[in-house]
Structure 1
Amino acid sequence: MNKIKVGIVGANPERGWASMAHIPALSALPGYEITALSSRNSGNAQLLKETYPVRHVYGSTLELSESNDVDMVLVAVRVPMHYNIVREVIAAGKTVFSEWPLGKNLRETEELAALARQNNVKGYIGLQSRSVPAIRFIKDYISQGHIGDVLSTSMIGSGIIYGEYTPLANDYTVDPESGAGMINVTFGNAVDAMCFVLGEFSELNATTATRRKTTTIVENGQKIPMKIADQVAVSGILESGAVATVHFRGGMLSGTNFFWEINGTKGDIQISADGGSLAVFEPVIKMSTGENGAMEVVEVPKAYNLVADQELDYIPASVGQNYTLIQSGDAPTFDDAVVRHRMISAIEKSAMTGRRESYI
């Protein structure tokens, strides 16, 4: 089988999600080969050449996208840059894998999804939390009827960033115009996993608030305004009729950083983790044994780990699940990104108006 040749926009040898997660995953997976990187910064381009053994380092996204040595382009830059870069990749007719969020807002996301369809381009989205083995296992376990009918679900999580301190590289995330706030990134990814398992909200109510008025830049101690919501609380009814509540809080907490419970007529499931992203922090699963029995830790069957033989750390392994799902045709797409952005827009509208909203 021919390898999928990948070009990466946004690789930085010194930091970033591409170097932390995507490059180790792609380097390990037998069905992929990193053939090209791009950087508009000449100094960074030289560093990329010295750090990664790839055949091409281009000075622009256009050059990379039009390369005959690239089948798929990974877009792993800051969210405000996604729109223009993804458009360039689509125009070149190449498959595109964009990190989440796809666009800064619903309008950009819907435009990019429509453009990909019009140009017959496959578009995949980095909603990695739904792709991790634990989540796919839970989805199957529930659909097989093991806990009966789902009655309700509750999720509480930490935003990881968006708290008292912010790394300088993430200073843009506390500006709502960036499209990279907590409601978009951490909350959006976690609730996507919930909806993947249990179905979408048929209606919801939401409250958002900015409780910290400033955040301190880690590297220099500068205080900058916190302009995004660092508290997001949503309650509603899922399509199944189950009641759902979700509350995310900015930062990392001394208390609960992630806990998700699913209650059924025959039993319960609990998922806990050390942070609010299941693609970053490996979850622990507890299930009731027998009908409404005691809760016990349950191991995810090995069959759900699609990269088990690659000896990857948890973060690149989480991203690797997505790449393996791309090959099987089961990875989240731009259309999934549109649904999630519509949910976020409904939450923001409900929080602003106080009215119940729907999005599907």
Structure 2
Amino acid sequence: MNTSPSPLADLARSGKPIGVGIIGLGAQGSWAERSHLPALRAVPGYELRALSTSSQQSAELSGRKHGVPRAFGTAAELAACDEVDLVVVAVKVPHHRELVETALSAGKSVLCEWPLGNGLAEAEEMARLARGHAVPTAVGLQARSHPALAHLRDLVADGYVGEVLSTTVVGSGGAWGPTVGPADHYVLDAANGATLLTIPFSHALDGLASVLGEPEELRIGLASRRTAAVDTESGRAVPMTAPDQVVASGRLPGGAVVTFHYRGGMSRGTNFRWEINGTEGDLVVTAPVGHPQLSPLTLEGGRGASTGLAPLPVPESYVRVPGLDPRTDAPAYAVAHAYRQFLDDLREGTSAVPDFAHGAARHRGIATALTGA
């Protein structure tokens, strides 16, 4: 996060609530409704004051449903509202750049969902704009804020596995499989920038990097084993140009080997398993689907003379948002902890929550790994 002095940091230190406006908080089961809305309501220090959707009519409907006092039909109106200090951009990826630019131009701090941009060029431009406006920003790479990953990070740092020798991640994307819902055709089109590579794989990569360090010499390969999915409502085939297989390998800063395999759809076997293997022990993270940023995470470990794995409950000291349950509130859980950490960053000048510069660097690293440059 950009930790330079700012009015938002002054506001956070004052103890007064940060006024939030969400672009994309609809009334029909949007991602913002499932994640940002409960997260903000569970974290003291924020006040949801405004929303905007694609029209004034739909905004007013959403405002009534969610009890949000100010409802706008355009993002520009929301960004211009004096009651809004932080703009949250929670819409489809192709609209991120335009809406972020609107908020930054109004002098507002911005939290933008991941992927930051539709491709590297957009992400770098957004990071450049944020630097020019000198406001705090955040990007929605919230897996690293999950209490389970925070505990995992400390276990590794404290030597639970000894020297790390290798780490392996296997995940299923859920989408990009044999079927697609009527509202999800968007993710099948690679041109929209919301793919197996840019969403679950990238979230897992960022979470892994937060625990073990940034992979070096990373190489990513893509394959399209499915070229269509069947719409669950119409039964018709929908073209899929987004690859449904992602494989990657590299090395960690200390020389340990890192490998990933992500596949579309769901498996009857493993849908998320992350192993960390070391000279003294092993750690394993599992989840019901390969999205560590929105799934309940289970942590197990074994070391020394132990020949098996045992549960490793997350200590209460890591739980910063006790009002949410890690399983029943899974989509909001890591998001809420990211909001909590963002407050700490603003108040203390730290930078634990990824900002736009971090987001652009993540895009850049993936682009480089794809080309092998």
Q: From the superposition, tell whether residues 68 and 291 of structure 1 become closer, same or farther in structure 2 (CA, over 3 Å).
A: farther
Q: Secondary structure at the match of 1:245?
A: strand
Q: Which moved more, 1:78-87 or 1:57-66?
A: 57-66
2:109 & 2:305 partners in 1: Cα distance? 46
RMSD: 1.5
2:135 & 2:305 partners in 1: Cα distance? 47
Q: From the superposition, tell whether residues 292 and 343 of structure 1 become closer, same or farther in structure 2 (CA, over 3 Å).
A: farther
Indicate whether 1:84 and 2:98 are aligned.
Answer: yes
Residue correspondence of structure 1 range 8-87 to structure 2 within 5 A: 8-87=22-101
Q: CA deviation at 1:135?
A: 0.7
| Matched letter for residue 122 of structure 1 | P
1:49 & 1:146 partners in 2: Cα distance? 48
Q: CA deviation at 1:210?
A: 0.5
Partner of 1:327: 343
**Larger RCO, structure (CA 8 Å, separation 6 or more):** 2
Partner of 1:316: 332
Partner of 1:193: 207
In the alignment of these two chains, the number of paired residues is 351
Residues 285-316 of structure 1: CA deviation (Å, up to 9, x unaligned): 11114466532111011111110145672222
Q: CA deviation at 1:331?
A: 1.5
Partner of 1:114: 128
Partner of 1:354: none
Q: Secondary structure at the match of 1:113?
A: helix
Return the TM-score normalized by structure 2: 0.91
Mark the runs of 5 or more structure 2 residues left unpaired by the alignment: 1-14, 346-351
Q: From the superposition, tell whether residues 292 and 345 of structure 1 become closer, same or farther in structure 2 (CA, over 3 Å).
A: farther
2:181 & 2:107 partners in 1: Cα distance? 36
Indicate whether 1:266 and 2:280 are aligned.
Answer: yes
- Match for residue 371 of structure 2 among 345, 349, 358: 349
| Matched letter for residue 50 of structure 2 | A
Indicate whether 1:97 and 2:111 are aligned.
Answer: yes
Identity percentage of aligned residues:
38
Residues 43-86 of structure 1: CA deviation (Å, up to 9, x unaligned): 31231132122221112111111111001001000000001000
| Matched letter for residue 285 of structure 1 | L
Q: Given that residues 218 and 249 in structure 2 are in contact (C-alpha distance below 8 angstroms), is that contact kept between their aligned partners in structure 1? A: yes
Partner of 2:4: none
Q: Secondary structure at the match of 1:169?
A: coil
1:220 & 1:42 partners in 2: Cα distance? 31
Q: From the superposition, tell whether residues 55 and 138 of structure 1 become closer, same or farther in structure 2 (CA, over 3 Å).
A: same
Partner of 1:206: 220
Q: Given that residues 267 and 293 in structure 1 are in contact (C-alpha distance below 8 angstroms), is that contact kept between their aligned partners in structure 2? A: no
Q: Given that residues 19 and 47 in structure 2 are in contact (C-alpha distance below 8 angstroms), is that contact kept between their aligned partners in structure 1? A: yes
Residues 134-155 of structure 1: CA deviation (Å, up to 9, x unaligned): 1111111111222211111011
Q: CA deviation at 1:28?
A: 2.4
1:38 & 1:82 partners in 2: Cα distance? 14
Q: CA deviation at 1:93?
A: 1.2
Mark the runs of 5 or more structure 1 residues left unpaired by the alignment: 351-356
Q: CA deviation at 1:42?
A: 3.2
| Matched letter for residue 334 of structure 1 | F
Indicate whether 1:181 and 2:203 are aligned.
Answer: no
- Match for residue 148 of structure 2 among 107, 120, 134: 134
| Matched letter for residue 337 of structure 1 | G
Q: From the superposition, tell whether residues 339 and 228 of structure 1 become closer, same or farther in structure 2 (CA, over 3 Å).
A: same
